[in-house]
Amino acid sequence: MKATGPITVADYMREVLTNPVTGYYMHRDVIGDKGDFITSPEVGQLFGEMVAIWLFSEWQKVGSPNPLQLVELGPGRGSLSEDLLRVFAKFGAANLVSLHLVELSPHLGRLQAQRLCGDTTKENEPNSVENHYRSGTSLHGTPVFWYHRLQDVPQYFSCVVANEFFDALPVHKFQKTEAGWREILIDIDPNDENKFKYVISRGETLASRLFIKKTECRNHLEISPESAVIIQHIVDRLEEDGGIALLADYGHNGTNTDTFRAFKRHQLWDPLVEPGTADLTADVDFSCLKDAAGDRVVTFGPVSQREFLINMGIEVRLEMLLKSCKPELKDRLVTGYHLMVDKEKMGDRFKFFALFPSVLKEHLKKFPVAGFHNA
């Protein structure tokens, strides 16, 4: 910054989170009780089971295309993928699926490999002609592959899942002023060169010219071009190869404004203090994702996590587990259930959003999509 001046919030997020050497996600276990945040799949098996049942059900409704690829973007510690494989195996489909994980972090990739495949994974040489960088076989006998980009995943019918993935993608922040839209940037604090501060761009920036709609009525905006690009890659895949996508994240439908923040040890933290030691995040704008997806897909939602999970039968599944589990697990199951569905916890803040190729539009009218009854 000393040499080039202020940087965008998007560049700051990208550098802090995914720098190969110092990036927050790249070399540490950041999820769970000992990390900085917790995700629904880490709370317990109920979340992953409901997602797996949804995927299996929708896959069956479109004729159970074979082979089926389960694709997860940003799999964390592998908890959700583990639940998906277990449920598909229970339904007798373990030999029909393969699992494809898109993961940038070497550390998280190793955690996923150990959890899903034990010691059976193999890393490819850097100059390998294969698109994947690691492969293995799950405990259920399912082939598992790791990639750096969604574009590298083979082109077959895919169920794409992303839980708390889009919230970590870089956002540009904008403020409406008397002179028009200006971008919020990050610069070195002139009073302390070891600190950062927000500044307003003097004039328009390339991002403010490209990304802000003339009809925008909010005074503060956060826009993630990278999210739009990834959604378009997902849409390309659904349209060309067939598939279904299910996204879960905390977000809004084009109403929220200033949501960029950090979490450290499960507490809110100043994003500009000690960069690289806290998780940076911003609410997902699902209206932007819808716009980016365009008319090549049919979308459902966003609906609240509470609504989706209850529609999918989480309460019935909880009762079944409580009848059969050990006494010491009952409290954990009930606590996890309330954490996921209570309105004041994750229930309302987190949203579900689904995408289907537009060729299925009439089919979906005959066979309504599960979990989105009011969407």
Q: How many structural domains compose the chain?
A: 1
184: in domain: no
Q: What average pLDDT does this structure show over 50-66?
A: 97
The pLDDT value recorded for residue 37 is: 63
The pLDDT value recorded for residue 233 is: 98
The pLDDT value recorded for residue 44 is: 81
Q: How confident is the model at residue 239 (pLDDT cuts 50, 70, 90)?
A: very high
| pLDDT of 139 above 60 | yes
276: in domain: yes
The pLDDT value recorded for residue 33 is: 62
Backbone angles phi, psi at 294, to 5 degrees: 70, -160
The pLDDT value recorded for residue 331 is: 87
Angstrom distances, CA of residue 241 to CA of 34, 155, 294, 357, 364: 40, 6, 17, 10, 18
Contacts of residue 149, defined as CB under 8 A and 6 or more positions apart, other chains included, come to 102
145-193 tens-digit pLDDT: 999 999 999 999 999 999 999 999 999 999 999 999 999 999 998 887 7
163: in domain: yes
Q: Can you give the C-alpha Rg of the chain in angstroms? A: 21
| pLDDT of 26 above 70 | yes
CATH code of the domain containing 65: 3.40.50.12710
The pLDDT value recorded for residue 255 is: 87
The pLDDT value recorded for residue 146 is: 98
| pLDDT of 39 above 80 | no
81-97 tens-digit pLDDT: 999 999 999 999 989 99
Q: What average pLDDT does this structure show over 64-80?
A: 96
The pLDDT value recorded for residue 25 is: 82
The pLDDT value recorded for residue 36 is: 59
The pLDDT value recorded for residue 32 is: 61
4: in domain: no
Domain of residue 143, residue span: 19-168+223-366
Q: How confident is the model at residue 15 (pLDDT cuts 50, 70, 90)?
A: very high
282: in domain: yes
73: in domain: yes
- Return mean pLDDT, the chain: 92
279-328 tens-digit pLDDT: 999 999 999 999 999 999 999 999 999 999 999 999 999 999 998 888 88
347-375 tens-digit pLDDT: 899 999 999 999 999 999 999 999 997 54
Whether this prediction's pTM lies above 0.85 is answered by yes
199: in domain: no
178: in domain: no
Percent above pLDDT 90 for the chain = 75
